[in-house]
Amino acid sequence: MNDETLLNERIEVITVFGEGLNPCRPIRFRRPNGREIEVTEIGLRHPTVQGKRTIHIFDVTNGGADYRLEFDSERLTWHLTREADHYE
């Protein structure tokens, strides 16, 4: 099946702003429990809108699980909203 956990954790994120396909690249984040996760690949970045607020969704992985990070471009906050380590 699919071991998917929906979350709403405020997280701290180290981000690189540069060029290329993903000009904004989260490279490492820390969860409220203190666990730090290194992003090894950004699968897809897409924007969604909540009214007139733009939220950027980053689907990323550390090689062991897939994570969904949400960056609120108005409030400048990051949230971890899903963890999925499918699959066995």
| Sites of contact with another protein (CB under 8 A) | 1-2, 21, 41, 43-44, 46-53, 57, 59, 61, 65-66, 84-87
Q: Sheet holding 36-38: strands in order across?
A: 12-17, 24-30, 36-38
Q: Which is nearer to another protein, 34 or 51 (CB)?
A: 51
CB of 20 to another protein, least distance (A): 10
62, amino acid identity: N
CB of 80 to another protein, least distance (A): 14
C-alpha closest to that of 35 among 65, 71, 56: 65
